[in-house]
Amino acid sequence: MNHENILVTKESGYAVIQFNRPEVLNALNTKLMEELVESLESIDQDDDVRCVIITGNEKAFAAGADIKEMADASAIEMLGRDQFARWDRIRRIKKPLIAAVSGFALGGGCELAMTCDIIIASETAKFGQPEINIGVIPGAGGTQRLTRAVGKAKAMEMVLTGKMISAEEARQWGLVNKVVPVEYYLQEARNLAEEIAGKPPLAVRLAKEAVLKSFDTTIEGGLEFERRSFYLLFASDDQKEGMKAFVEKRRPDWSGR
Ligand code: DAK
């Protein structure tokens, strides 16, 4: 498939989606979001791909939604564009998503990174929700996901001041998994994607679902969901293979069934 705003490459076991609007610091316009969501959904159906890296370039992961595109829109036009539906579709992707972030991850860029399951950052990454400076508030989950990741006090400070935080602060605050020198951030993400791609796919899928479930359920409901997923995996060939391989002291050979 040809894309104008993203580059998609398939490696062994994982795919890389790279934003390709460097002239505007990868600002997320409607077309880019459309291409991103369609690629993610198509990759989600591809059994050869078991993990996806979403990245930008060294200077910017993404500096937010495209301000020029929405500056003159009315509330009714914004409603008609129904962009939230597109963001919700990203939330429903079943394969693990790794954000490899360097440079600016602001506004929608920070929200997109937080929609991913794991964030690997370069030392130069900067995270922020600067929407307050242009007269709005985060619109794609920033007030919710940031608060869950870093707690109320820090989220309030970021959302109310629009101030950026460094990669190291983001790591210390629990927003980012790992910070590495800028020349290695993509490689680090690739290593992680390769590692996850080597795990049994059904267990990976249910593990992701169960962790995400903890965000929108009671502990009781979450434990019940986890338990059922755990039992379900005993219907898979990979559970039999994994446990047999352990007993026989050999590497498991996953079939994905
Ligand atoms: N949109 C459009 N263009 C952008 C942009 C953006 N978000 N960010 C940067 N650019 C463009 C600049 O206009 C400039 O273009 P030219 O002037 O060269 O044509 C080019 O990228 C380079 O930017 P700068 O010259 O400003 O570069 P600097 O290094 O000096 O500054 C910066 C970098 C990141 C500090 C600065 O560009 C900046 O403050 N950018 C805006 C950051 C921001 O406010 N981001 C939040 C946007 S609001 C929704 C979902 C999500 C959202 C909304 C709705 N729905 C589902 C409905 C999200 C909203 C947002 O993200």
Question: What is the per-residue pLDDT for 191?
Answer: 98
Question: Is 111 in the active site?
Answer: yes
What's the 64 CA to ligand 1 centre distance in angstroms? 6
Q: What is the pTM of this model?
A: 0.97
Question: Is 210 in the active site?
Answer: no
Q: Ligand 1 in contact with 134 (CB < 6 A)?
A: yes
List of domains in the chain: 6-197 (3.90.226.10), 201-247 (1.10.12.10)
CB pairs under 8 A, 24+ apart, for 91-96?
91/115, 93/40, 93/41, 93/44, 93/52, 94/44, 94/205, 94/208, 94/209, 95/43, 95/44, 95/49, 95/50, 95/51, 95/52, 95/204, 95/205, 95/208, 96/50, 96/51, 96/52, 96/196, 96/204, 96/208
Question: What is the per-residue pLDDT for 177?
Answer: 98
Q: Ligand 1 in contact with 90 (CB < 6 A)?
A: no
Q: Ligand 1 in contact with 84 (CB < 6 A)?
A: yes
Question: What is the per-residue pLDDT for 230?
Answer: 98
Kindly state the percentage of the chain with pLDDT values over 70: 100
Reported confidence tier of residue 128, pLDDT bands at 50, 70, 90: very high
What residue's CA is closest to ligand 1, atom 25? 24
Reported confidence tier of residue 161, pLDDT bands at 50, 70, 90: very high
Compute the mean pLDDT over every residue in the chain, rounded to the nearest whole number: 97
Segment 135-151 shows an average pLDDT of: 96
**pLDDT of 254 higher than 90:** yes
Closest CA to 20 of 50, 54, 44: 54
In sequence order, what are the beta bridge partners of 9? Answer: 16
Question: What is the per-residue pLDDT for 1?
Answer: 67
One of 15, 56, 60, 131 is an active-site residue; which one? 131
Express each pLDDT in 236-250 by its tens digit: 999 999 999 999 999
Question: What is the per-residue pLDDT for 186?
Answer: 98
Express each pLDDT in 79-121 by its tens digit: 888 888 999 999 999 999 999 999 999 999 999 999 999 999 9
Express each pLDDT in 175-222 by its tens digit: 999 999 999 999 999 999 999 999 999 999 999 999 999 998 999 999
CA distances from 84 to 148, 158, 181, 225 (A): 20, 22, 34, 26
Question: Is 65 in the active site?
Answer: yes
Question: Is 38 in the active site?
Answer: no
Question: What is the per-residue pLDDT for 83?
Answer: 83
Q: Ligand 1 in contact with 27 (CB < 6 A)?
A: yes
What's the 166 CA to ligand 1 centre distance in angstroms? 18
Reported confidence tier of residue 2, pLDDT bands at 50, 70, 90: confident
**pLDDT of 174 higher than 80:** yes
Q: Ligand 1 in contact with 108 (CB < 6 A)?
A: yes
One of 65, 167, 189, 193 is an active-site residue; which one? 65
